[in-house]
Amino acid sequence: MDEKTVTVQDTNPMDTETLEVNFGPQHPSTHGVFRMNIVLDGETIVSVKPVMGYLHRNHEQIAENLTYAAVMPYTDRLDYFNSMANNFGYALAVEKLARIEVPERAQYIRVIMAELTRLVNHVSVIGFLLNDLGAFFTPVLYAFREREKILDIFEAISGSRMMCNYFRFGGVKRDVSDADLEQIRKIVQKFPAFLDEFEALLTKNEILCMRCQNVGVLPPDLAVNASITGPVLRASGVNYDIRKVDRYSIYERFSFRIPLGDKGDVYDRYYVRILEMRESVKILEQALKGIRPGEFIHPKSTSFLKLPRNFKPPVGEAYGRVESPKGELGYYLVSDGTPQPWRYHVRSPSLINLTVLEDLCVGHKVADAIIILGSIDIILGELDR
């Protein structure tokens, strides 16, 4: 058949051209230097191609050339919003590799820090999601108001607001003073009231509901097949939380529940995060009640803290994972008996959760792609590593 006749027959005169638009790397709401290659038919999305790697810093290769202890500050820079959770995962992996025990007080401090980090992350993510929805910074600044208080605590305890570098193999860097614990108690006490205010502003807002409900629905089977983790998975109704599944650290001592979503749309992802914060507050209350004076680091590990080159884990491999606020954050380590890891790999939730982006976006409008991206909650430092 002649080619020309085919095109004439197949083309409807009312058909319009598709438009290919690059969202990013310089775009106000791609959460960093991330690029979405979107093909648009009018306002409707035909295809999405994520382009990443603009923030690639060779994290894993750098780590393989450093001592085990010196990797710790680099893990801060992965997911720069929750450095404590990153520290936690790496510390667990190395402790598994070298079979180091952690004293009880250190475990409590770790859990408190991890849950505070979850509050920081979820509250800011919701703020940023609302910014993507077009609110003029109000939810973000309310979130940041609370976040600042928690960051002040981090600064008092670890020395830095965001790049905490606080966890050590076998404990934590420094002890937490009673004054700091009192400060944390105050924040935890006030947090539910803030969440109530936040919810009054957002949860029932008709515009938010219109925009978020039934947008970017992630079916549970797709979520499981794409190995999505974290709040995104739980919003689809799959009961999977590493704190419950793995029972790492001392999470089995606390009673808390896992909020599960209904439909798996953007709204569920938003609300599951709110409910998760309420559960985190419960964990924090129990942990603050249970913490007792004691050692904050295992006495054996103080020796190799002073001399990181003498720390040589036995030959073998280990995988340590935590429920970071974004999902399953795992560190895979292979030791060959030298002071440097032979292989170091990070399983970052941001990257793996992003793989379903196209499935969620196709068929929706441009504005939806932005909020779907916002609801998946990516951090480019972790995505590109």
Partner 1 sequence: MEYLDQLFVFAKRLMLDLLARFLPDWIVLVASMVISIVAILIFAPLTMMYLTLLERKVVGRIQNRIGPNRVGKFGLLQPIADGIKMLTKEDIVPFQADPVLHFLAPVIIVMPALLIFAVIPFGRGMTAVDLNIGILYFIAVSSISTIAIFMASWGSRNKFSLLGGMRTVAQMISYEVPMVLSVVPVILVAETLSTNAIIEAQSAGWFVWTPWGLAGFLIFFLCAVAECNRSPFDIPEAESEIVAGFHTEYSGIKFALFYMAEFISVFAVSALAVTLFLGGWKGPWLPSWLWFLLKAYALIGVMFWFRGTLPRFRVDQLMGLAWKFLLPLALINIFVVGFWYFSPGLWKWVGSLGILGPSFWIFTKLNRSYVPENRVYRLAEDENNETVGA
Partner 2 sequence: MIFGSGIIRGMFVTLKNFATSYFRKPDEGGLFTVEYPEKRIPLKERFRSFPFLVYDGTPENLRCTACDICARECPPKCIYVVRAADQDGRPLRRPAAFTIDYSVCMNCGMCEEVCPFDSIFMDHEFEIASQDRYRELVYTLTKLLKSNEYFNNIRPRDAQAVDKKRREAEEKKKLAAAQAAKPKLDEPPKPV
Determine the interface stretch with partner 2 among 34-42, 151-159, 277-285, 372-380 (rule: CB under 8 A): 151-159
Distance CA 235, CA 30 (A): 22
Q: Which is nearer to partner 2, 35 or 105 (CB)?
A: 105
Nearest Cα to Cα of residue 216 among 263, 279, 283: 263
| Stretch of 142-150, 254-262, 285-293, 316-324 contacting partner 2, by CB under 8 A | 142-150
DSSP designation for 63: H
Query: Which of residues 48, 85, 130, 157 is near partner 1 by CB under 8 A?
Result: 130
Q: Is 267 a binder of partner 1 (CB under 8 A)?
A: yes
- Distance between CA 119 and CA 148 in Å, rounded? 11
247 Cβ partners below 8 Å, 6+ apart? none
Q: Of partner 1, partner 2, none, which one sits near residue 286, judging by CB under 5 to 8 A according to partner kind?
A: none
For partner 1, which stretch binds (CB under 8 A), given 4-12, 150-158, 175-183, 207-215?
Answer: 207-215
Closest to 82 measured CA to CA, from 385, 384, 382, 383: 382
User: Which residues inside 32-71 make contact with partner 1, applying CB under 8 A?
Assistant: 40, 42-43
The entry of partner 1, partner 2, none that residue 306 binds, CB within 5 to 8 Å by partner kind: partner 2
User: Residue 364: phi, psi to the nearest 5?
Assistant: -95, 180
Q: 165 contacts which partner out of partner 2, partner 1, none, CB within 5 to 8 A by kind? A: partner 2
Q: Which of 343, 339, 330, 274 is nearest to 304 (CA)?
A: 339
Closer residue to partner 2 (CB): 171 or 327? 171
Per CB under 8 A, the list member of 275, 277, 284, 291 interacting with partner 1 is 275
Cα 273 from Cα 129, distance rounded (Å): 12
CA–CA dist 344, 333 (Å, integer):
5
Phi-psi region of 317 (alpha: psi -120 to 50; beta: other; left: phi over 0): beta
Residue 163 binds partner 2, judged by CB under 8 A: yes
147: number of Cβ within 10 Å: 20
Give the integer Cα–Cα distance in Å for 163 and 183.
20
Least separation in angstroms between CB 286 and partner 1 = 14
Q: Which is nearer to partner 1, 177 or 214 (CB)?
A: 214
Angstrom CA distances, 181 to 101, 156, 185, stand at: 24, 11, 6
Considering the complex, state which of residue 145 and residue 300 has its C-beta at the smaller distance from partner 1.
145
The yes or no reply on residue 202 touching partner 2 (CB under 8 A) is yes
- The yes or no reply on residue 28 touching partner 1 (CB under 8 A) is yes
* Contacting partner 2 within 266-325 (CB under 8 A): 305-309
- Choosing from 27, 55, 80, 174, the residue that interacts with partner 2 (CB under 8 A) is 174
SS3 for 114-152, per residue? HHHHHHHHHHHHHHHHHHHHCCCCHHHHHHHHHHHHHHH
Q: Pick the binder of partner 2 from 37, 47, 203, 227 (CB under 8 A).
A: 203
Residues lying near partner 2 in the complex (CB under 8 A): 66-67, 69-74, 76-77, 138, 142, 145, 148-149, 152, 155-160, 163, 165, 173-174, 190, 197, 200-209, 305-309
Residues lying near partner 1 in the complex (CB under 8 A): 19, 21, 27-29, 40, 42-43, 130-138, 141-142, 145, 201, 203-211, 213-214, 237, 239, 244, 255, 257-263, 267-268, 271-272, 275, 279, 365-368, 370
